[in-house]
Amino acid sequence: MCIICGQRLDEESGVTFGYIHKELRLNNDEINRMRNKEMKELLQRKKLILVLDLDHTLLNSTELRYLTVEEEYLRSQTDSLEDVTKGGSLFLLNSVHTMTKLRPFVHSFLKEASKLFEMYIYTMGERRYAFEMAKLLDPKKEYFSSKVISRDDGTQKHQKGLDVVLGKESAVLILDDTENAWTKHKENLILMERYHFFASSCRQFGFNCKSLSELKNDESETDGALTTILKVLKQVHHIFFNEVSGDLVDRDVRQVLKTVRAKVLEGCKVVFSRVFPTKFQAENHHLWKMVEQLGGTCSTELDQSVTHVVSTDAGTEKSRWALKEKKFLVHPRWIEASNYFWKRQVEENFTVEQTKVEQTKKQ
């Protein structure tokens, strides 16, 4: 119902913003008015909007029943929920039957990012879980306030969308480990390397290996994923406000992000060898597209302008050519790592070995 004239509003129009106020629904004209007002104020304060995923991006959670025998030691190492502000990282939340591990550097990340961005949490988890995680990340309510969006607030099932964020798409960046959750907003997305601390997380994504918790190890504070991405965010923010011409309201952070990303593999020309399935259209493969997004070029033919051959087998004809011509021969993980770290990775760390079949042939 309109608070001015009392007229009943069409249920089909507008969007519900239940995370701001229970059952609050705004029509499209009001949403646009509020977005424009919000953006004007933010840009005057030299701020953009940052939407943050929770699981595998800022933290990792596991249900208590899924803790392995090798993880039982964690129960005696949890930090107190009474004083989260002391900067603990491992918490036992009996209210949601969960143990949560905050990603290394997350407290510093949020503090630094909050100076440049208005921040939202957006998770596919339930509202109760989202609020519990927000308490761990932001106990003083300095960063998110009521801007905690859960799957109950979304307008599409199994999808996230910026229609429930009060900001113009041209000023929003997204951090998330799941690209498919943002099918309409891939240009806003910075894809995060997944944080797998618990064994259940590794199993969920099909990794048959020891988890960080089982190895009694963790990501690096100084050069882990959040440290890397904070540098990218600062760079994009600086370019947006200081190097792009035209009025602030007409600038588009998606174009800035695209430009920064295209510097990563600039000057690299890549040929793939036995990476794609037979008869697969190479140009449609996600690794081919990734190289192009990172500023490199791809080819199916070998010539002296090629800088890298990407393969999982050093015994293929193209792989042997690369070694003979002193070109880089790298594993496909080299592309993925460069993408996650926004920096061309040292090729020697992604060497390729011969398969057993090729070794047998030589013998």
| Residue 338 belongs to domain with CATH number | 3.40.50.10190
pLDDT (tens digit per residue) in 283-298: 999 999 999 999 999 9
Residue 146 lies in a domain: yes
| Residue 50 belongs to domain with CATH number | 3.40.50.1000
Domain shared by 167 and 67, yes or no: yes
Looking at the 3D structure of the chain, how many domains does it have? 2
Domain shared by 201 and 91, yes or no: yes
- Work out the angle at residue 227's Cα, subtended by the Cα atoms of residues 226 and 230, and round it to the nearest 5 degrees: 80
Residue 28 lies in a domain: no
Task: Among 181, 208, 242, give the residue marking a domain's end.
Answer: 242
Domain shared by 179 and 283, yes or no: no
String of DSSP letters for 163-228? GGSSS-GGGEEEEES-GGGGTT-GGGEEEPPP---SHHHHHHTT--S--TTTTT----TTTSHHHH
Task: Among 242, 277, 294, give the residue marking a domain's end.
Answer: 242
pLDDT (tens digit per residue) in 12-42: 556 666 565 566 666 677 667 777 888 889 9
Does the structure show a pLDDT above 90 at 348? yes
Q: Domain range spanning residue 298?
A: 264-349
Residue 26, pLDDT score:
66
pLDDT (tens digit per residue) in 163-197: 888 888 999 999 999 999 999 999 999 999 999 99
Domain shared by 197 and 340, yes or no: no
Domain shared by 110 and 160, yes or no: yes
